[in-house]
Amino acid sequence: MALAIFDLDETLIHGDCASLWSEQMARLGWVDGKDFLRRDHELMEAYGKGHLQMEDYMAFSLEPIAGRTLEEVEHLVEPWVEEVIEPIIYGDACRCIAEHRKRGDRILIISASGTHLVGPIAARLGVDEYLAIELEAVNGVYTGKTHGVLTYREGKITRLLEWLDQEQENLEGASFYSDSRNDLPLLLKVDHPHVVNPDAVLREHAQTNGWPILSWT
């Protein structure tokens, strides 16, 4: 049994769940739609170029849920996953997960989005185990802050190594699937890196290193 690790946004789904949730918060009236979504777009462009400080994005994107209870947010995320996320799940991604499961591999999603989104999406994909950015809550109420190491770039490796130690697992024979240059540190660490609908920088790395380049729909 080996690990099969998957990035989430633009790898398993055709979109970025954090930005899609920003749109949902605008629909809910939690934010000033026009200004908030413009800023979200600017930050996501920086992310695509590998220039984003993830702390900046999380501070921005979590502000609207500060002061809201875990139950309130969960109650609104569930139908959003069904209505918005489920239609953009790649069929090829589901088939790939199923193939790994058939081989007896252990499936893990590791994402630079928040646990409040990644958990319900992973459940919808039938994946029980995931690592994502942890959100701080006090007495069942979100503070709008994160805690712990953010699962972004090298932080994905830090959190994964902690998880491997805790689970008494290792990376022998592991696969990792991602679309983004931001995941190069982890792609370079596994035995079987795969790039999915990659950005230009990642595609070049994949071609140079002879990694499989997958076009998922």
* Per-residue pLDDT tens over the stretch 169-212: 999 999 999 999 999 999 999 999 999 999 999 999 999 999 99
Q: Is the pTM of this model over 0.85?
A: yes
pLDDT of the residue at 49: 78
Percentage of the chain exceeding pLDDT 90: 92
Percentage of the chain exceeding pLDDT 70: 100
- Buried-state track 19-30, b at ≥16 Cβ within 10 A, e below 16: bbbbbbbbeeeb
Between 53 and 66, whose confidence is greater? Answer: 66
Please identify every residue annotated as catalytic: 7, 9
In the chain, where the domains are located? 3-214
Q: Which residues pair with 175 in a beta bridge?
A: 4, 192
Query: In CATH, which superfamily holds the domain spanning 3-214?
Result: HAD superfamily/HAD-like (3.40.50.1000)
Spatial strand order of the sheet with 106-114 comes to: 130-133, 106-114, 3-6, 175-178, 192-196, 213-214
Cβ(136)–Cβ(146) under 8 Å?
yes
Dump pLDDT digits (tens) for 102-126: 999 999 999 999 999 999 999 999 9
Give a three-class secondary structure readout of 94-124: HHHHHHHHHCCCEEEEEEEEEHHHHHHHHHH
Given a cut of 90, is residue 52 above it in pLDDT? Answer: no
Quote the CA–CA distance of 178 and 5 in Å, as a whole number.
9
pLDDT of the residue at 125: 97
Average pLDDT of the chain, as a whole number: 96
